[in-house]
Amino acid sequence: MDCIFCKIIEGSIPSKKVLETDTVLAFHDIQPAAPVHILIIPKKHIATMNDVEREDLRLLGDIHHAAQQIAEQFGIKERGYRLINNCGPEGGQVVYHLHYHLLGGQKLGAIHH
């Protein structure tokens, strides 16, 4: 498999780890879009949000729990942060391994409805 995130999980590509559990890995984005920009990925390879199966739902909870822990670790829990998942080409997904961007540390523009 030629997945960059799988290689980061196995350790063949280095990363600046922030949090690691049995199911989730979080690390600094190499091209940050905010003062705090952390990528949160499942250790299980799932290509996109559309590929999440029923048995993966607990894993999504693990990712969201990791986001809460990271927000607290970086002192942005109370001020607020954004948690983003891009799905597919029109959704802006570049790496086809499910991942979330946790952004914070500055006021982020509102997404209008």
Active site residues: 99
Is residue 34 within 8 A of residue 104, CB to CB? The reply is: yes
What radius of gyration, in Å, describes the C-alpha atoms of the chain?
14
Is residue 69 within 8 A of residue 46, CB to CB? The reply is: no
**Which ranges of 26-112 does DSSP label H, i.e. alpha helix?**
57-73
Residues 18 and 39: their CA atoms lie apart, in Å, by 9
Residues 3 and 46: their CA atoms lie apart, in Å, by 11
Task: Give the DSSP H/E element, type plus range, for residue 27.
Answer: strand 24-28
